[in-house]
Structure 1
Amino acid sequence: MTLIDRIASWAGFERRNDAADPSWSALAPNIGYCGAISARAAENLSAVAACSTVIATSLASIPALVYRRQGGNRIEAMGHPLYRITRQGVNEAMTWPDFVEHMLSSALLSGNGLAEIMRTTNGALAGFRFIPWGMVTVVQLASGRLAFDVADGRGGTRRLLPEEVLHLRDRTDGNGVGVSRLSRAADVISAVQATNGFARNFLENGGRPGGVIKSAQPLTQEQLELLRSQFHAKYSGTANAGRTLILDHGMEWTAAQISPEDAELLESRKFGVEEICRLFQVPPPLVQDYSHNTFTNSETAGRWFAMFTLAPWARKIEAEFARSVFSTGSGFELELDLSGFLRGDPTTRWNAHKIALEAGVLTANEVREIEGWNPKTEPASEQAE
């Protein structure tokens, strides 16, 4: 350690070019990936892809609102740069919904979603640049904080400090880096992958033997080979499907009766979908598993999904924006509006509006605003009176 580094360490400062701890450098590229299956390979499992997609796209589709606190009130800050970004895009190549979907998918599958905060020369917010987690190496500075070395694809790297990035992460093990659910529940993912692999081989090999040829007389090895080659030549493949089988010398054909149900293959695959849904906290009907579905519980599942799956991730995103984008004490905040998911059916929603109107909690125009309609103006004659 140089004298400058010692002084910086004693004073509690940190330097962008602090040397990385070798243990962190070795670990970081694979953080969030388990030894059994990678995040990319896990998406070959339809339940994993469906669960991560329904969470990411659902949060990406809801309104993102920027507010400024003024006294005891909250006022929508339409002049804030983030307001423009949420509507016009985070950069020239990516819209706001695409950005949220990328960040959340990365956090769900690898444990971490990272984006660089882009600012103008005077420090104003200009946009965000999503960074795939596979391009990131995490290092620990002398101050104890994390820094992120990002590969540029040409053999070089550049270092980003915590205040220069949005870092969305799943639950950590205390080191500040998120750990993927695929890693925490590696046995579950491996078991489902093994079941799918067995099913694939089962189907590729015909699913089951078509039948068994029995002979009353013992056959020599040469006779067995001749029988096998003739049988495959005349009765195997799609071109020979349905041909009449002719046997001589007292031979008999017995059809095999092994089925996927007998091998418990179908039930194992159904259970695998439920296990992955449990891992991502997604109600099975939302990923097209209707085995236990009714009209009543499907509606309830949507509200459950909003309250217990989307709301925690929305709060994480809002808190991360408060940490890295908005300056302390500025009074600005980001809100991801989940009210659309929580409204319920139209009858219930409008009955709630009716109660609010009768109790004087809301006005007619406030109800119209909640529903996304313009205020209702009074006729000119009434205004004159």
Structure 2
Amino acid sequence: MGMWDWLPGRKAEAKGVTFDPVWLDFFGARTSKAGVPVSWERAMDVSTVFACIRVIAEGVAQVPLAVMRELPDGKGSQPAKDHPLYKVLNSKPNQWQTSFALRETMIFHLALTGNAFFYKNVVRGKVKELIPIDPGCVAITRNNDYSLTYTISDLAGRSMTLPQSMIWHIRGPSWDTWRGLDAVRQAREAIGLTIATENTQAEMHANGMQASGVYSTEAKIDPEKYKQIQAWIAAQVGGANRHKPFVIDSGFKWTPQTMTGVDAEHLETRKFQIEEICRSFRVLPPMVGHSGQAMTFASAEQIFLAHVIHTLMPWIVRIEQSIDNDLLDRDEDADFFAKFNVNSLLRGAHKDRGEYYAKALGAGGAPAWMTQDEVRGEEDLNALGGEAGKLPKPTNVGGSAAQKPPKSGQGTKNDEI
């Protein structure tokens, strides 16, 4: 659209930009330099890719998700169990999935394709059900007014076009703001090289880790005899005979090829590819079972904490804000918001939690900022009420009242004596 189309009274042409994920496959955009085609399905066959997606998906899915209501005068929030979206997000999004299963599928779609789509079953203006849609079946069109429409195709070849209001579209990292970046396409070189090295290693093991050789003779061999000799050699060096002596006659000579240093480096290459894929999905290698060095309990705890903060939290915040923007978009939802309870993932050791709660309750003379009931809530314990719901008075470490220091130039009574 040109700048003149924005003038008042001028009608803009009904054009749009369409993105269809199938287009990438037709034009070979998913083929890596290693010569291996990389798709979403093929990428999940790589153990590191599957482990990265799984550790993110299970981390997001296991955290309780609830619709919260803001309390008046900024006094906090509480679960809004009477809101119709509460049950959909917290326990039963549709007839065959749990909340855990829905969010797990959501992350698989998001982390691999950059997009997750859900049909909003709206009854009387309220979302009663969320139906997941395969990202490969959705084509997105951005209209002139920057609204989006979604064309959904089924296995029978039928399609329907739905407006933006009927689709919950969660995007991963995005360049053009209306579709997420395809993570598999962006990391296809690392994934493709991993697939290629796995194939090479598998072929070597299929041959008993033996390289091929040359079977030579000075006699002339006709095509039919050549086929017979080739089949005979395959029977001698393959299957159960691969480690048995190779018997030859009639002046033939077998010259085996030795394994090169490049072949011996396959294991190191595969280790490096694990780190490359983890880097692409922003997952720490120890979280997928790959540790370059021994870890202590202290370092392991910090790694798990870093995983929550740097890997899971960006996805969690992205989903929370998408719910607020696309599912809690009615005027009467102004006081509601979605919240993941990540406290259970951020809990440290018993000693660390004990010291933190002691300071929060005012130990050491500092003002308290938590009540006993709030501490019990953090530990999934029921509130006691009464004095436990009030902020405690600060106490000293030694148990005695703090003494004021003497004024400058004045000593204590004992000093004067």
Q: What TM-score range do you get, normalising by the shorter chain?
A: 0.7 to 0.9
1:196 & 1:10 partners in 2: Cα distance? 62
The one-letter amino acid of 1:48's match is V
1:40 and 2:41 are equivalent in the alignment: yes
Match of 1:140 in 2: 142
Sort the Cα spacing of 1:197 and 1:306 in 2 relative to 1 into closer, same or farther, 3 A.
Answer: same
Sort the Cα spacing of 1:362 and 1:256 in 2 relative to 1 into closer, same or farther, 3 A.
Answer: same
* The one of 89, 93, 105 aligned to 1:102: 105
Match of 2:183 in 1: 181
Structure 1 segment 169-248 matched on structure 2, within 5 A: 169-209=171-211, 219-221=218-220, 235-240=236-241, 243=244
The one-letter amino acid of 2:288's match is V
Q: Residue 18 of structure 2 aligns to a residue in which SS?
A: helix
1:330-378: CA deviation from partner (whole Å, max 9, x where unpaired): 2100011222222222221222112212242222222111111123478
Match of 1:339 in 2: 343
2:251 & 2:186 partners in 1: Cα distance? 59
| Deviation for aligned residue 1:158 | 2.4
Asked if the contact 2:207/2:242 (under 8 Å) is kept, the reply is no
Sort the Cα spacing of 1:186 and 1:227 in 2 relative to 1 into closer, same or farther, 3 A.
Answer: closer
1:17-72: CA deviation from partner (whole Å, max 9, x where unpaired): x9764x525x4544799422111111111111111111111101101122111330
| Deviation for aligned residue 1:287 | 0.8
1:292 and 2:293 are equivalent in the alignment: yes
The one-letter amino acid of 2:140's match is V
**Equivalent pairs, count:** 360
The one-letter amino acid of 1:372's match is D
1:157 & 1:190 partners in 2: Cα distance? 33
Sort the Cα spacing of 1:77 and 1:204 in 2 relative to 1 into closer, same or farther, 3 A.
Answer: same
Sort the Cα spacing of 1:371 and 1:222 in 2 relative to 1 into closer, same or farther, 3 A.
Answer: same
Sort the Cα spacing of 1:354 and 1:159 in 2 relative to 1 into closer, same or farther, 3 A.
Answer: same
1:218-264: CA deviation from partner (whole Å, max 9, x where unpaired): 7434599798776655x434544654566789999887652787531
1:105-158: CA deviation from partner (whole Å, max 9, x where unpaired): 1111111011112211x2122121111111111112242211111124443322
Asked if the contact 1:34/1:186 (under 8 Å) is kept, the reply is no
Q: Residue 116 of structure 1 aligns to a residue in which SS?
A: strand
Asked if the contact 1:20/1:139 (under 8 Å) is kept, the reply is no
1:296-315: CA deviation from partner (whole Å, max 9, x where unpaired): 33222211111111111111
| Deviation for aligned residue 1:197 | 2.5
Using CA pairs under 8 Å that are at least 6 residues apart, name the structure with larger relative contact order, 1 or 2: 1
Sort the Cα spacing of 1:10 and 1:294 in 2 relative to 1 into closer, same or farther, 3 A.
Answer: farther
Structure 2 regions of 5+ residues with no counterpart? 32-37, 387-417
When normalised by structure 2's length, the TM-score is: 0.75
Structure 1 regions of 5+ residues with no counterpart? 1-5, 379-385
1:279-307: CA deviation from partner (whole Å, max 9, x where unpaired): 11101111111233413332222111111
| Deviation for aligned residue 1:208 | 2.4
Match of 2:376 in 1: 368
The one-letter amino acid of 1:264's match is E
**Higher mean C-alpha deviation, range 256-265 or range 366-375:** 256-265
The one-letter amino acid of 1:332's match is F
The one-letter amino acid of 2:30's match is G
| Deviation for aligned residue 1:96 | 0.8
**Higher mean C-alpha deviation, range 221-230 or range 125-134:** 221-230
Sort the Cα spacing of 1:161 and 1:11 in 2 relative to 1 into closer, same or farther, 3 A.
Answer: farther
| Deviation for aligned residue 1:278 | 0.4
Asked if the contact 2:60/2:103 (under 8 Å) is kept, the reply is yes
CA RMSD of aligned residues (A): 3.4
1:79 and 2:71 are equivalent in the alignment: no
1:186-219: CA deviation from partner (whole Å, max 9, x where unpaired): 3222222222222233333433237788x9xx74
1:4-25: CA deviation from partner (whole Å, max 9, x where unpaired): xx9xx96999xxxx9764x525
Asked if the contact 2:208/2:242 (under 8 Å) is kept, the reply is no
1:11 & 1:28 partners in 2: Cα distance? 34
Match of 1:111 in 2: 114
| Deviation for aligned residue 1:181 | 1.8
Q: Give the fraction of aligned pairs with identical amino acids, expressed as a percent.
A: 26
The one-letter amino acid of 1:313's match is W
Match of 1:277 in 2: 278
1:333 & 1:63 partners in 2: Cα distance? 14
The one-letter amino acid of 1:236's match is V
1:195 & 1:330 partners in 2: Cα distance? 53
Sort the Cα spacing of 1:11 and 1:48 in 2 relative to 1 into closer, same or farther, 3 A.
Answer: farther
The one-letter amino acid of 1:363's match is T
Sort the Cα spacing of 1:34 and 1:317 in 2 relative to 1 into closer, same or farther, 3 A.
Answer: farther
| Deviation for aligned residue 1:160 | 2.4
1:349 and 2:353 are equivalent in the alignment: yes
Q: Residue 24 of structure 1 aligns to a residue in which SS?
A: strand
The one-letter amino acid of 1:131's match is I
2:202 & 2:246 partners in 1: Cα distance? 29
Sort the Cα spacing of 1:188 and 1:52 in 2 relative to 1 into closer, same or farther, 3 A.
Answer: same
Q: Which has the larger Rg? A: 2
1:342 & 1:238 partners in 2: Cα distance? 53
Asked if the contact 1:285/1:293 (under 8 Å) is kept, the reply is no
When normalised by structure 1's length, the TM-score is: 0.81
